Amino acid sequence: MINQKSIAVLPFINMSSDIENEYFCDGLTEEIINALAKIKQLSVTSRTSSFYFKSKSVSAAEIREKLKVATFIEGSVRTSKNNMRITVQMIDTVDDFHFWSETFDRNPENIFEIQDEISLFIAEKLREHIGHLEIEDKLIEPIDVPVAIYREYLKGKYYIMKLDFDNSIKGIKILKEVTSKSPNFIQPYLDINLSYIYMGTLGLLPASEAFQKAQPFFEKAMELNPNSPRVQLNLSWIESWQNWNLEKAYDHANKALEIQPADDIYLTISNYLTVEGKLDSAQNYIDKALQLDPFSAMNHHYKGFLLYLQEKYNEAIPYLQKALELNKGLPFPPLYIGECLLLIGKHQEAIDYYNNLEGVPVTDLTQLGGLAMCYAKINDIEKCNKKIAELETYLQSENIDKAFNFLILVNVLLGNHDQALDFVEQAFENHLPLILLLNTEPIIKPIKNNKRFKSIMLKAIPDNVNYRQKKKYKQALLEADEIEKYRKELDQIMVDYKLYLNPDLSLKDLASYLELPANYVSQLLNLGFEKNFSEYVNTFRVNEFKERVLLEENKGLTIMAVAYDSGFNSKTVFNTFFKKIEGTTPNSFLKLNKEN
C-alpha cells in the first residue's frame, strides 16, 4: 500500500538553450527536494531516484510503480535576460490527473526567494490535497552569497553530481573557486569533501589520497556549522570507521536524521547495526533507505550485502546485480556476487565470473582475492598459494585493508585457522576498518568461537550481539534514562514503518524492532507511555482512521472499511477504543467534521 503522504520531485526541464539554465534547473529541483524533506510527516523521494528520470518521458503509472509515491511534481524553467518563468504541476499518481499547476514569473536575481516561495507553495497545495502537514514559515533559508557566486556553485555541483572522474575534477575546481570568493559559504566545502570521498570509495582515486584531500574541506565546514546534517553525518562516519566508537557514531547519525531524514542516513545506521550483528534491525533501516531512494545503487548493494550476511545467497544476487545495473562502476557488488556463487556450490561459475570481471581495476583486488577464495574452496592448493603470495605483496601498499581481508578469508577456507587469526590480530593492530566487517562475515564462521577472535571482536565492538554477555533480568528492567531513550525510538519506529497497520502486530514484533526482550518493551509501554500494548498501538490506529476517513478518496467507503485499512481487525475493538480515546463515537466524529 502506497503512503498517501509521499511525493517525488522530478528534475525541472530546461526550456532555454542556455546551459547555465540547466545548472539552475537541477539546483532548483534539489532545493525543493531538500525543503520538502524537512516536513516530518512527508516521505520524499531522494535525489538519486528523482534524477533517474531526467530527460525521460514517463507516465504517472510508471512513477507510482517505480517510486511508490502518491504524488509527484514536474516543472520547467525558461529564462530571458530580465525574467524567469517557472511552471510547476502536481500530479496524483493514483488517478493520473493534474490537480493544480502554477506559473511563476520572477526576477532571476531573486533565486533564494523563488526557491522558498515555490517550496512553500507546493507544501501548501500538498496539504490541501492529502491532509494535515506541519509546515514551517520558511523551508529554504537565503544564503548570504551574491547570486552570481551561487550560480557558479550550482555549476560546480552540476558537474560533481555526474560522478565520473573528469567531471568530478572539473566540478571540484569550480567549487574551490567559489570558496575563495565566499569563504563562509558552507555548501561547496561539503560538496568537495563528499566528491573526494566518493572518488576514493569507488576507486577513481586511491582511497588514502582521496580521504586526505577531503579532510580540510570537511574541517572548514565543521567550523562554519557543526550542526549541519551533512557535517553530523561525516562526524558519524569518522567515529565509526576511524575511531571505532559506535555509540558516538549513532549519536551523530541520529542527530543528522532528526535534522533532515535522508536515505543515506538510514543506510549509515543500517551499516552500524550490521557491524554490531543486529541484522534484522539493519534490514529495517535499509528498507527505509530503499523506500526513499529506490534507484540508489548503494542502497541496492547494501540490501544484497545484508542478505549475503544472512546466508540468503540466492536472494542477494538480484539486488547486487541491480546495483551494477544502476551504477556499473560500483566496485563492491562484484565481490559478493562471486562469493554468493561460490557459497551456493557453483564453484566453476564463480571462477568464470571473477576471471571475466570488467570495469573493476586490478588494484581493487576483487579479481585476485575472489579467485584465491575459489581455489581455496575447491582445494586447488597450487593455484591458491600463487594468489596468496600475490596478495601478500599488497600488505605494504595502500591496499593493505583489502589484502588482509582476503588473506583472512582464504586461510579460513583452507582450514589454516591459526594463520587466519594471526592476520586478524595484525589487522587489529593496524586499526584497519575491515575488523568491523569481520564480525558478521559468513566465511569466517569456523573461527568465530575462537578465544583469540572473540577477544579482538569485543575490543573493537563492545556492544557486540555475537559475544556480549546476556543481560540478566532485574526487577526494574529499564532505568529512567533508558525508558526515555527507547520511548522516543519506539515512537519513531511506529511513524517510520507504520507497524500499526499490521492487524496481527504483537508485543514480540515491537520488541524485535527495538532489539529488546518482550518483558522490557512491556515495561517501557507501562512506564514510558502509561499504556498497555493494545492501548499504545490502537492510539496510532485511531489517529490513522481520523486522517483516512476524511480523505476525498475514501468517501465511498464504510466506516469499518476505513477502520480495517487503519489496522483494526475487530468492529468491537475499534468502537471501544475510538470512544475511549476520542470521547465520542466514530459516527459522531465523522458527522461533526463533515459539518465543519
Average pLDDT over residues 339-350: 96
pLDDT attached to residue 541: 93
Average model confidence (pLDDT) for the chain?
87
Band (pLDDT 50/70/90 cuts) for residue 362 is: low
Higher pLDDT, 96 or 187: 187
Band (pLDDT 50/70/90 cuts) for residue 388 is: very high
What is the number of residues in the chain? Answer: 596
CB contact set of 59 (below 8 Å; sequence gap of 6+): 96
For 201, 246, 284, 316, the CA distances from 273, given in Å and listed in that order, are 21, 9, 10, 18
Q: Residue 126 burial (CB < 10 Å; 0-12/13-18/19+)?
A: buried
pLDDT attached to residue 202: 66
Decide if pLDDT at 383 tops 90: yes
Band (pLDDT 50/70/90 cuts) for residue 475 is: very low
Grid cell digits, residue 509:
514484533
Average pLDDT over residues 581-595: 84
User: Which domains are present in the chain?
Assistant: 6-130 (3.40.50.10610), 162-225 (no CATH), 242-460 (1.25.40.10), 480-595 (1.10.10.60)
| Residue 400 bridge partners (DSSP) | none
**Nearest-CA neighbor of 86 among 145, 35, 29, 153?**
29
Higher pLDDT, 479 or 225: 225
**Nearest-CA neighbor of 545 among 518, 573, 578?**
578
- Please tell me the distance from the alpha carbon of residue 216 to that of residue 148, in angstroms, as a whole number: 25
pLDDT attached to residue 201: 67
SS3 146: coil
Grid cell digits, residue 134:
506541519
SS3 89: strand
Percent of the chain residues past pLDDT 90, beyond the cut: 36
pLDDT attached to residue 124: 87
Angle subtended by helix axes 297-309 and 279-292, to nearest 10:
160
pLDDT attached to residue 409: 96
Residue 34: Cβ within 10 Å count: 19
Average pLDDT over residues 288-299: 90
Average pLDDT over residues 309-332: 92
Q: Longest C-alpha distance within the chain, in Å?
A: 84
pLDDT attached to residue 474: 43
pLDDT attached to residue 565: 84
Q: Residue 134 burial (CB < 10 Å; 0-12/13-18/19+)?
A: exposed
- Chain-centre distance of CA 177, in angstroms? 31
Grid cell digits, residue 385:
598459494
The DSSP letter of residue 471 is: P
Decide if pLDDT at 239 tops 60: yes
Decide if pLDDT at 340 tops 90: yes
- Please tell me the distance from the alpha carbon of residue 363 to that of residue 386, in angstroms, as a whole number: 17
pLDDT attached to residue 184: 94
Highest mean pLDDT among 112-126, 196-210, 310-324: 310-324
Band (pLDDT 50/70/90 cuts) for residue 473 is: very low
> How many CA atoms does the CB half-sphere of 590 hold within 13 Å?
19
Decide if pLDDT at 121 tops 80: yes
Decide if pLDDT at 131 tops 80: no
**Residue 568 φ then ψ, to 5°:** -75, 150
For 32, 129, 559, the CA distances from 12, given in Å and listed in that order, are 10, 22, 41
**Nearest-CA neighbor of 370 among 327, 338, 414, 401?**
338
Higher pLDDT, 55 or 364: 55
List, for residues 422-461, the tens digit of each pLDDT value.
Answer: 999 999 998 888 888 898 999 999 998 898 998 998 888 8
Average pLDDT over residues 560-587: 87
Grid cell digits, residue 416:
589454516
Band (pLDDT 50/70/90 cuts) for residue 375 is: very high
Average pLDDT over residues 48-57: 89
Residue-wise DSSP of 224-276: H-TT-HHHHHHHHHIIIIIT--HHHHHHHHHHHHHHS--HHHHHHHHHHHHHH
Higher pLDDT, 381 or 258: 381
- Please tell me the distance from the alpha carbon of residue 566 to that of residue 541, in angstroms, as a whole number: 5
- Please tell me the distance from the alpha carbon of residue 231 to that of residue 325, in angstroms, as a whole number: 30
- CA torsion sign for 318, 321, 326, 332 is positive
> pTM of the entire structure?
0.71
List, for residues 152-203, the tens digit of each pLDDT value.
Answer: 998 999 898 887 888 999 999 999 999 999 999 999 999 998 888 878 766 6
- CA torsion sign for 534, 535, 540, 542 is positive
Grid cell digits, residue 310:
544472512
Average pLDDT over residues 542-568: 86
SS3 44: strand
- Please tell me the distance from the alpha carbon of residue 227 to that of residue 499, in angstroms, as a whole number: 31
